[in-house]
Amino acid sequence: GQQVMQIPQYQHVQEGEDFTTYCNSSTTLSNIQWYKQRPGGHPVFLIQLVKSGEVKKQKRLTFQFGEAKKNSSLHITATQTTDVGTYFCAGGLYNFNKFYFGSGTKLNVKP
Amino acid sequence: DTGVSQNPRHKITKRGQNVTFRCDPISEHNRLYWYRQTLGQGPEFLTYFQNEAQLEKSRLLSDRFSAERPKGSFSTLEIQRTEQGDSAMYLCASSLWDTRGEQYFGPGTRLTVT
């Protein structure tokens, strides 16, 4: 069964509002990756977190990896219409040998 | 273009037929993954190769599925005796053996089983 849960499933925001998606794993992960998939496209890598409690920023995006390495979050500040898409987390097991993707959070941004 | 390529892009087949998909990873990447994605879901791990060795295989993969990477370059995924439940997008991804672990995905092969 699915080992990585992701919420919410959908998020509709007004442009300029913030957005957060959360991932939770039933097991301790070796690493976690985040991807963005545009409609009709394929997943595109955003970032990887490896260390317990790690926080990384990419412009308006902030990624966190929980202390227990079982949860992670992606926060977008002041969303833009270009942020539209589905965001997936992918929990890694056994050092890159296997990844479990969450079901994704579909973000819609209204201008 | 040096990205990951997959062929064919679309495949329509009748139930019970065998199908084979091909993935050409980025040339210097020694890791290769196969995933299956259905509408509204995240990619589902199928199998993983490091060079030519198949190191992980999902328990979800029945005996009807087999994958190869004979020379550590391109890979094939074969589905025998296809069923309607096999209809999905089949994605291939490759990555380098380094700590970044970034997976580069191909455009996928959309399989429809009628």
Three-state secondary structure string covering A4-56: EEEECCEEEEECCCCEEEEEEECCCCCEEEEEEECCCCCCEEEEEECCCCCEE
CA distance B107 to chain A (A): 6
Instruction: Report the residue of chain A nearest B60, measured CA to CA.
Output: A1
Does A101 contact B43 at a Cβ distance shorter than 8 Å?
A: yes
Residue B81 CB contacts under 8 Å (≥ 6 apart), including other chains: B16, B17, B18, B64
CA distance B108 to chain A (A): 7
Question: Considering only A30-39, B51-60, B69-78, which range has the smallest mean pLDDT?
Answer: B51-60
CA distance B43 to chain A (A): 6
Q: Tokens for A29?
A: 């992960």
For residues B18-41, give the mean pLDDT.
Answer: 95
Q: What is the pLDDT of residues A61-98, one digit of tens each?
A: 999 999 999 999 999 999 999 999 999 999 998 766 78
Q: Which of A6, A96, A97, A100 to mutate to test the interface with B (most CBs of B within 10 A)?
A: A96
- Predicted confidence at residue A66, as pLDDT, reads 97
Q: Is A103 on the interface with B (CB under 8 A)?
A: yes
B45 Cα distance to chain centroid: 9
Name the residue among A33, A92, A97 with its Cβ closest to that of B55: A97
Residue A1 has pLDDT above 70, yes or no: no
- Predicted confidence at residue B46, as pLDDT, reads 94
Give the integer Cα–Cα distance in Å for A70 and A89: 12
Q: Is A29 on the interface with B (CB under 8 A)?
A: no
Q: What is the pLDDT of residues A13-30, one digit of tens each?
A: 999 999 999 999 999 999
